[in-house]
Amino acid sequence: MAERKTIVYPNPEMLAQAVAARTLLTIIDLLAEPERRRVDIAVTGGTDGNRVFAAMNASPLNDAVDWNRVHVWWGDERFVAADDDNRNAKQAREAWYGALVEDGRMPAGNVHAMPADTRSATEITEASPEQTDSVLAEAAAEYQRELAAQLGENPALDIAMFGMGPDAHFASLFPDHGEAEIDDPHVLVAGVRDSPKPPPLRLTLTVPMIARSKHTWVFTSETRKANAVKTAFARRNNPHAPSSYANGEELLWLIDEGAASRL
Q: For residue 233, which amino acid is it?
A: F
Q: How many CB atoms lie within 10 A of CB 83?
A: 8
- Please report, for the chain, the start and end positions of each structural domain, with discontinuous segments joined by +: 4-30+39-204+211-254
Give CA–CA dist 176/209, Å, rounded: 19
Q: How many CB atoms lie within 10 A of CB 150?
A: 15
**How far, in whole angstroms, is CA 173 from its chain's centroid?**
11
pLDDT, one tens digit per residue, over 11-32 is 999 999 999 999 999 999 999 9
3-state SS, residue 109: helix
- Dihedral angle computed from the Cα positions of residues 145, 178, 90 and 160, in that order, rounded to the nearest 10 degrees: -70
pLDDT tens sequence for the chain (263 residues):
889 999 999 999 999 999 999 999 999 999 999 999 999 999 998 889 999 999 999 999 999 999 999 999 999 999 999 999 999 999 999 999 999 999 999 999 999 999 999 999 999 999 999 999 999 999 999 999 999 999 999 999 999 999 999 999 999 999 999 999 999 999 999 999 999 999 999 999 999 999 999 999 999 999 999 999 999 999 999 999 999 999 999 999 999 999 999 99
pTM of this prediction exceeds 0.85: yes
Give CA–CA dist 253/81, Å, rounded: 32
- Dihedral angle computed from the Cα positions of residues 225, 231, 232 and 237, in that order, rounded to the nearest 10 degrees: -150
Q: How many CB atoms lie within 10 A of CB 127?
A: 14
> In the prediction, which pLDDT does 237 show?
97
Please calculate the CA angle 75-235-244 and round it to the nearest 5 degrees: 5
Name 255's bridge partners.
Answer: 8, 220
pLDDT, one tens digit per residue, over 119-131 is 999 999 999 999 9
Strand ranges (E), the chain = 4-9, 39-43, 70-74, 76-78, 159-162, 189-192, 202-205, 215-220, 250-256
Name 236's bridge partners.
Answer: none
Q: 4-30+39-204+211-254 in CATH: which number?
A: 3.40.50.1360
